[in-house]
């Protein structure tokens, strides 16, 4: 039984269809990733699932309840880590958790009993009495995650949980999310970080212009959409080399700025050609999710 | 939910109201003193300064006349400020409302909580002025206790109207229009500083429609030890403004935030 199911969701703003026919179902215990460039419709999809805005068409079931009709009781079983930090700046770390727990109708005693556990999970046990302004970006994110767990939710929505964090803070968040998954929680994650999606998500969808353009496990998507090897070359004369040699040796080429990306099933001919080009620098690596993402959504900027 | 459906009212507003109370408790003393200073200076400055040059106004010393006006006006100001600047900060700047609405609390609950909070805070301001009025011996009647029952109605009325303005605001600057076009005219036309009857007929006609007039019309007789004529009618006018303002605020916030 799916914890979240959406069928043919559509939502338009001022004539522009932001979500243009999206369907998916998420099983308990799964980590589902929603990838897409800015403006692809990811956040709107999450808002629809939470019942914060009504779809123009389609149906949603969250925790076996119809949304938006029964969105409010459904949200009692759900946690949300929003894209933008909205911790209460007037409160301490501990008060943020206490006040948030009250919104769920939890008893004062139940919340107070749970706070030390959550602070420990977030690595903030020593900071219970700290003001929010004194926390680092990573601490704030961890507190936001702890706040989303105050009601011991079955399903957690995370909208770009590690955007703006340094690598140390990001790794710590990933470790905590893995802990939650190991504990049986279901996670729906939007992200720009392919590494994050590859590490955490068993299944993901790439969204662009309001539609899911592909769906599957990270490995499946790489196999399905892209050649297994990538050779990136740059340096003086790389465009000449690419026109002269690479075009014949790679199954597909992409040029971005001063770099040529050569995709191939067999990288050996490319590498031996490059070995004779003293002035070119190159990198050979296996294809990854980012290659899939860029192939499917294009390299031009989306603002 | 349809955008125009009536506000859903439930006790879910209580935890949100308590959130605002907890913030206020941290700053309670400066907040009360700040709320008290302004009206107190008016009462003392105008009451004794201007009052010493005036004969009796409405049959009583000017300062006793002014007291009821200042109680109503400072209650109005307190509710207005809270429902505009503070609510706007929570909604638009801090995104506190967004966080709350991810929990099992709806926008209607948040709007009701903001209204109840603005009214609660304004009652505290009103009671503080009332206490000063009693301490200065400006009202000795037992009837003046009834003003405490009037204060929540004043707070709800002006809190609801201000929330409707907040729902339309794009920045803090927008609130200047409301102050210039409504709050200042009400302070000057609605019988706070002088009897409405002193105004030209056209202004009196305008004043009759403004809610502050009706608040003062109940509070002044009570402070002077009289039973206010048409009290029920005046209270119904305030209630109508409160209901209309709350409904407008709910619809406008839904249009703004649930799109």
∠ Cα B254 B256 B259 (to 5°) = 75
Quick one: pLDDT band at residue B97, thresholds 50, 70, 90? very high
Chain B residues with beta carbon closer than 8 angstroms to that of A50: 102
Is B23 an 8 Å CB contact of chain A? Answer: yes
For residue A302, pLDDT over 80 is answered with: no
Cis peptide before A62 (omega within 30 of 0): no
Candidates B87, B95, B69; CA nearest to B154 is B69
CA distance B187 to B70: 9
Confidence of residue A229 (pLDDT cuts 50, 70, 90): very high
Strand pairing report for A259-264 and A78-81:
unpaired
Domain boundaries, chain B: 27-257
Q: Please state, in angstroms and as integers, the Cα–Cα distance from residue A106 to each residue in A45, A96, A153, B104, following that order.
A: 28, 14, 13, 11
Shortest CB distance from A73 goes to which of B1, B95, B104? Answer: B104
By CA distance, what is B106's nearest residue in A? A72
What is residue B110's predicted lDDT score, i.e. its pLDDT? Answer: 98
Work out the pLDDT band at B60, boundaries 50, 70, 90. Answer: very high
Would the CB atoms of A53 and B259 count as touching at under 8 Å?
yes
Question: Minimal Cα distance from B95: which residue of A?
Answer: A86
Cross-chain residue pair A90–B26, CB shorter than 8 Å? yes
Mean pLDDT on B206-217: 97
Alpha-carbon gap, residue A59 to A7, rounded angstroms: 5
Quick one: tokens of A220? Answer: 């499946």
Report the DSSP beta bridge partners of residue A216: A204
Closest partner residue to A75 among B22, B95, B102, by Cβ? B102
Backbone angles phi, psi at B192, to 5 degrees: -75, -50
CA distances from A139 to A161, A165, B231 (A): 12, 10, 56
Residues of A whose CB is below 8 A from B12: 105
Chains A, B: CB contacts under 8 A, how many?
Answer: 64
Report CB contact under 8 Å: B99, A82. yes
Choose the mutation target among B19, B20, B99 for the interface with A, i.e. most A CBs under 10 Å. B99
How far is A104 from chain B, CA to nearest CA, in Å? 6
Q: Are A8 and A22 in contact (CB under 8 A)?
A: yes
CB distance A84 to A108 below 8 Å = no
Interchain proximity B103–A88, CB inside 8 Å: no
Q: Quote the mean pLDDT of chain B.
A: 95
Geometric angle at alpha carbon A122, from A112 and A132, rounded to 5°: 80
Average the pLDDT over B135-160 and give the result.
95
CA A121 to chain centre: 21
Positive or negative, the CA dihedral B113, B118, B121, B126 is negative
Give the DSSP per-residue string, chain A: --SEEEEEEEEEETTEEEEEEEEEEE-TT-EEEEE--TTSSHHHHHHHHTTSS--SEEEEEETTEEETTTHHHHHTTEEEE-SS----TTSBHHHHHHHHHHHTT--HHHHHHHHHHHHHHTT-GGGTT-BGGGS-HHHHHHHHHHHHTTT--SEEEEESTTTT--HHHHHHHHHHHHHHHHTT-EEEEEES-HHHHHHH-SEEEEEETTEEEEEE-HHHHHHHHS-SEEEEEESTTHHHHIIIIIHHHSSEEEEETTEEEEEES--HHHHHHHHT-TT-EEEEEE--HHHHHHHHH-SS---
Chain A residues close to B94, C-beta within 8 Å: 86, 88-89
Chain B touched by A166 (CB under 8 Å) = no
Read off the pLDDT band of A303 (50, 70, 90): low
Smallest CA–CA distance from A73 into chain B, residue: B104
For residue A12, is pLDDT > 80? yes
Place of tokens 């507003």: B13
Interface check for A66 against chain B (CB to CB < 8 A): the answer is no
C-alpha–C-alpha distance, residues A171 and B160, integer Å: 47
Q: Strands A31-35 and A203-208, how do they pair?
A: parallel
Tokens of residue A238, six digits? 């790389």
Enumerate residues 239 to 258 of chain B having a beta carbon within 8 A of any beta carbon in chain A. 258
What is the rounded distance in angstroms from the CA atom of residue A56 to the CA atom of residue B37?
52
Instruction: Decide if A11 contacts A44 (C-beta within 8 A).
Output: yes
Query: Mutation test of the interface with chain B: which of A71, A75, A83, A90, choosing the one with the most B Cβ atoms within 10 A?
Result: A90
Q: Does pLDDT of A138 surpass 80? A: yes
What is the arithmetic mean of pLDDT over A41-63? 96
Q: Indicate if the pLDDT at residue A159 is higher than 80.
A: yes
Cα torsion angle, B9, B11, B15, B20, sign:
positive
Q: Is A99 on the interface with B (CB under 8 A)?
A: yes
Assess whether pLDDT exceeds 70 at residue B235: yes
**Cβ-Cβ contacts under 8 Å, B103 against chain A:** 75, 100, 103-104, 151
Q: What is the mean pLDDT of residues B100-125?
A: 97
- Angle between helical axes of B28-44 and B13-26 (0-180°, round to 10): 80
Of A68, A75, A102, nearest to B15 by CB-CB distance is A102
pLDDT confidence of residue B121: 96
Contacts of A19 in chain B (CB under 8 A): none
Among B96, B103, B112, B253, pick the best mutation site for testing chain A contact (most A Cβ within 10 A).
Answer: B103
Mean pLDDT of chain A: 94
A103 contacts B105? CB cut-off 8 A: yes
The answer to whether A235 faces chain B, any CB pair under 8 Å, is: no
**Whole-angstrom distance, CA of residue A194 vs CA of residue A297:** 13
Query: pLDDT tier at B1 (50, 70, 90 boundaries)?
Result: low
Chain B contact for A281 (CB, 8 A cutoff):
no
Q: How many Å lie between the alpha carbon of B71 and the closest alpha carbon of chain A?
A: 30
Residues listed for chain B: 259
Answer yes or no: pTM beyond 0.90: yes
pLDDT band at residue B59 using 50, 70 and 90 as cut-offs = confident
Nearest to A61 by CA among A49, A72, A46: A49
Residue of B nearest to A89 (CA): B94
Q: What is the dihedral of CA A166, A156, B87, B112, to 10 degrees?
A: -170
Separation in Å, CA of A102 to nearest CA in chain B? 6
Q: What is the mean pLDDT of residues B209-219?
A: 98
Q: Predicted confidence band at B259 (pLDDT cuts at 50, 70, 90)?
A: confident
CB contact under 8 A, B23 and A91: yes
- Asked if B18 has any chain A CB less than 8 Å from its own CB, the reply is yes
| Per-residue confidence (pLDDT) for residue B2, from 0 to 100 | 83
Residue B105 sits at the chain A interface (C-beta within 8 Å): yes
* C-alpha distance from residue B54 to each of A193, A205, B65, B158 (Å): 75, 79, 12, 31
Burial zone of A128 (CB within 10 Å; 0-12 exposed, 13-18 middle, 19+ buried)? middle
Q: Is there a contact between A277 and A260 (Cβ–Cβ < 8 Å)?
A: no
Residue A100 above 70 pLDDT? yes
User: Chain B contact for A104, CB < 8 A?
Assistant: yes
Q: Do the Cβ atoms of A52 and B258 come within 8 Å?
A: yes
Q: Where is average pLDDT lowest: A247-256, B62-71, B152-161? A: A247-256
């Amino acid at each position: 039984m799916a914890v979240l199911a959406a069928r043919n969701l559509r939502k338009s703003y001022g004539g522009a269809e932001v979500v243009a026919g999206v369907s998916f179902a998420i099983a308990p215990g799964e980590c589902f990733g929603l990838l897409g460039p800015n403006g692809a419709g990811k956040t709107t999809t999450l808002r629809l699932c939470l019942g914060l805005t009504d779809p123009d068409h389609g149906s949603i079931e969250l925790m076996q309840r119809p949304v938006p009709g029964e969105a409010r009781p459904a949200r009692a079983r759900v946690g949300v880590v929003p894209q933008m930090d909205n911790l209460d700046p007037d409160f301490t770390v501990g008060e943020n958790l206490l006040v948030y727990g009250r919104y769920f109708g939890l008893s004062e005693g139940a919340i107070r009993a749970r706070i030390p556990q959550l602070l420990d999970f977030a690595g903030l046990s020593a900071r219970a009495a700290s003001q929010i302004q004194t926390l680092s970006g990573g601490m704030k994110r961890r507190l936001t995650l702890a706040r989303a767990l105050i009601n011991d939710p079955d399903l957690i929505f995370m909208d770009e949980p590690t955007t703006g964090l340094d690598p140390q803070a990001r790794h710590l968040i990933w470790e905590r999310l893995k802990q939650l998954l190991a504990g049986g929680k279901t996670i729906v994650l939007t992200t720009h970080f392919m590494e994050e999606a590859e590490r955490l998500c068993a299944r993901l969808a790439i969204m662009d212009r309001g539609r899911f353009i592909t769906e599957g496990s990270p490995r499946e998507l790489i196999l399905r959409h892209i050649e297994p090897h990538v050779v990136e070359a740059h340096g003086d004369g790389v465009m000449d080399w690419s026109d002269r040699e690479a075009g014949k040796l790679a199954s597909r080429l992409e040029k971005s700025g001063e770099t040529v990306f050569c995709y191939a099933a067999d990288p050996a001919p490319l590498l031996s050609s490059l070995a004779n080009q003293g002035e070119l620098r190159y990198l050979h690596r296996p294809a990854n999710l980012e290659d899939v993402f860029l192939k499917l959504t294009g390299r031009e900027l989306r603002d | 939910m349809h955008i125009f459906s009536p506000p859903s009212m439930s006790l879910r507003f209580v935890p949100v109201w308590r959130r605002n109370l907890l913030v206020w408790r941290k700053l309670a003393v400066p907040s009360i003193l700040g709320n008290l200073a302004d009206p107190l200076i008016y009462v003392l400055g105008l009451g004794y300064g201007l009052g010493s040059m005036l004969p009796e106004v409405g049959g009583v010393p000017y300062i006793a006349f002014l007291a009821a006006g200042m109680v109503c006006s400072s209650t109005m100001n307190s509710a207005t400020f809270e429902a505009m600047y503070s609510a706007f900060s929570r909604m638009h700047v801090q995104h506190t409302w967004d966080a709350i609405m991810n929990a099992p609390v709806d926008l209607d609950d948040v709007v009701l909580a903001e209204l109840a909070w603005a009214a609660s805070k304004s009652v505290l301001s009103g009671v503080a002025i009332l206490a000063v009025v009693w301490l200065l011996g400006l009202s000795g009647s037992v009837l003046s206790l009834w003003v405490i029952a009037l204060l929540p109605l004043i707070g709800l009325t002006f809190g609801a109207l201000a929330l409707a303005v907040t729902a339309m605001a794009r920045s803090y600057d927008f609130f200047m229009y409301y102050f210039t076009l409504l709050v200042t005219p009400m302070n000057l036309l609605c019988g706070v500083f002088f009897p409405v009857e002193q105004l030209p007929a056209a202004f009196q006609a305008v004043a009759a429609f403004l809610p502050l007039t009706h608040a003062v019309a109940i509070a002044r007789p009570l402070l002077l030890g009289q039973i206010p004529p048409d009290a029920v009618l005046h209270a119904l006018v305030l209630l109508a403004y409160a209901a209309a303002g709350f409904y407008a605020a709910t619809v406008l916030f839904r249009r703004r935030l649930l799109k």
